[in-house]
Structure 1
Amino acid sequence: MPLTPPSNLSGFAAAWSIVFVWSFWLIVSRIAQDSGLTIYDLAAFRYGLAALVAVPLCLYYKPWRGLRLFQIAVISFILGPVYILTVFSGFVYAPAAHGGIFMNGLLPLISIIFGVFLMRTLPSSRQMVGAALVLFSAVVLAYDASVTSAEGAWIGDIFFTIGALFFSSYVILSERWQLGAMQIIFCGTVVNAVLYLPIWALWLPSGIADAPTGALMLQMIYQGFVPNLIGLLFIAHASRTIGNGNTSFILAAVPGGGAILGALLLGESLSILSISALVLLTIGLMISVRRRKILTA
């Protein structure tokens, strides 16, 4: 029996690390609501701290040279404060598990819809089956959340769905425009840091002064560096070594990972109906996988 090459092993390790990174990000974002920090603080960490690393890299590589002003404006808006504040607002109302279910889980379905209406790209029969399972699972999960979850959880689910719309748009445009990692970092981090940080510092409410030191450091490190920078490197390595299809297949575990961590770390519970729908959702995601460029969240 042939052994897996070391490069493939590192690729699989990177892909599964992304699952943990994104799943744990759901938990970190959820517990931020108990730290005294505002959603505006979390957005400031995401753009401002990441920019400390991104600015020197962008000055060296000059990624704006290959971009039109229109492309910079569109990608920066899609990955900007409207998107991330919408997502963080979802955690105010809904459990962490719902973030993975409605953001990551709905991505294939939304991407298929966008592809049909915007680019006239018809999905394969395999994608249609996967999308149907995803849609059915989402409907069941939304219904069960309205019955068993805390009051107002459905509001968070709507916010997460809007976030999925933003992220799907980003994935489609990034693939269509063949954007590189540094171009994405420039638009998503540097441009938004320049635009958002002055507004946050001057006018938006902040809880940094009253937040406990441990909670503050966790949010600063994780929101500022892990998903944007480390996650991007892991995805790039995984896609290069084991292929986009295998990477996508493994990333289908994010909703389940978020649900498991939510139960273990936050005491969040899912009903039998939700667990069954989550399993079906994961199967639908795996069926929907197609070989394409995978980008960071």
Structure 2
Amino acid sequence: MTTSSPSQVTGYAAAWSIVFVWSFWLIVSRVANESGLTIYDLTAMRYGLASLVAVPLCLYYKPWRGLKLIQIAVISFILGPVYILCVFSGFRYAPAAHGGIFMNGVLPIISILFGIVLFRVLPGVRQVLGAALILVSAIVLAWDGAATSGHNAWIGDLLFVIGAFFFASYVLLSERWKLGAMQVIFCGTVVNAVLYLPIWVLWLPSGLAQAPLQPLLLQAVYQGFVPNLIGLIFIAHAARRIGNSNTSSILAAVPGVGGLLGALILGENLSLLSTLAIGLLTIGLLTSVRRKKPSSA
């Protein structure tokens, strides 16, 4: 049996750390609906507050020097307001657990599709089996969610899937382009802050002035600093060290953790069928995970 190199160990550690970061983010984003803040406020926090840290770092490291203009444009769009607003809108219709299921749970399937369509890389038997288990569990969860969470839950699920395609594209390009942490922060935070914040201030509805202080601080800290700084750095590191497929597969553990936290913290209903489906999805995750070979295509 081969042992993992130190770089792979840190890659796996980063990927599993983001599982817990992402799971708590699902909870925080779900309770944002009761804070009085609009989805446009949350998006402004994500880019604006993170930029307070990111701008000085980017001015020092000058990460744009290693990027082509097209790369800056593509990464900035993928991590931009379209992606974020889809995700925040999804929480209006579907419970927090569904965010984990349909954003993170389907990532291995999207990763396989990208590999086939873009690179003509066929998945292995384990990947296909894992993806099949994940797909079956996602269908069961969507059907059960419509019965227990309301008939409009499918709208949130669809928005989460759209977000998953954006996110899977980011993970893929992080690996292919060997993006560094500061390059990701520059594109995902600073560029989008420059483009989005003036539009938010001038034209978009806001509940910032009326929001209670405690929920406002919670959203400011978590939305502003955790996803766009800690999250993007960890994911970029994981994608570079253990590969896009392994990173996507490990992040599929978020549905189980997110569902558990949703039930414990928010009191969201998890039926026996949903619980079994999340268990099946986790098995699919563990089946899909494979070691990155030393020489990759």
| Correspondence for 2:190 | 190
Aligned mates of 1:132, 1:86 — CA distance in 2: 26
Report the 3-state secondary structure (helix = DSSP H, G, I; strand = E; otherwise coil) of the residue aligned with 2:198.
helix
Deviation sequence 1:87-122 (CA, Å, 0-9, x none): 000001100000001100000101111110112111
Moved more, 169-178 or 50-59: 169-178
Query: 1:35·1:211 contact (CA, 8 Å) conserved in 2?
Result: yes
> Residue 231 of structure 1: CA displacement?
2.9
Deviation sequence 1:159-179 (CA, Å, 0-9, x none): 001000111111112211111
Alignment of 1:134-173 (within 5 A): 134-173=134-173
Alignment of 1:215-230 (within 5 A): 215-230=215-230
Query: 2:107·2:252 contact (CA, 8 Å) conserved in 1?
Result: no
Which amino acid in 1 is paired with 2:191? V
Report the 3-state secondary structure (helix = DSSP H, G, I; strand = E; otherwise coil) of the residue aligned with 2:209.
helix
Moved more, 39-48 or 178-187: 178-187
Report the 3-state secondary structure (helix = DSSP H, G, I; strand = E; otherwise coil) of the residue aligned with 1:210.
coil
Alignment of 1:276-291 (within 5 A): 276-291=276-291
Aligned mates of 1:249, 1:17 — CA distance in 2: 14
Specify every segment of 5 or more residues in structure 2 that has no aligned partner in the other structure, as ranges. 1-6, 293-297
Root-mean-square deviation (Å): 2.6
| Correspondence for 2:270 | 270
Specify every segment of 5 or more residues in structure 1 that has no aligned partner in the other structure, as ranges. 1-6, 293-297
Aligned residues: 287
* Identity across the alignment (%): 76
> Residue 20 of structure 1: CA displacement?
2.1
Query: 1:108·1:131 contact (CA, 8 Å) conserved in 2?
Result: yes
Aligned mates of 2:192, 2:212 — CA distance in 1: 27
| Correspondence for 2:258 | 258
Alignment of 1:27-66 (within 5 A): 27-66=27-66
> Residue 243 of structure 1: CA displacement?
9.6
Distance 1:42 1:139, change over 3 A: same
Deviation sequence 1:217-257 (CA, Å, 0-9, x none): 00000000012222345557778999999876754431111
TM-score normalised by L of structure 2: 0.89
Deviation sequence 1:45-77 (CA, Å, 0-9, x none): 000111111111111111111111111111110
Query: 1:244·1:291 contact (CA, 8 Å) conserved in 2?
Result: no
Which amino acid in 2 is paired with 1:281? L
Query: 2:50·2:189 contact (CA, 8 Å) conserved in 1?
Result: yes
Distance 1:282 1:151, change over 3 A: same
Query: 2:94·2:154 contact (CA, 8 Å) conserved in 1?
Result: yes
Aligned mates of 2:204, 2:287 — CA distance in 1: 43
Distance 1:290 1:185, change over 3 A: farther
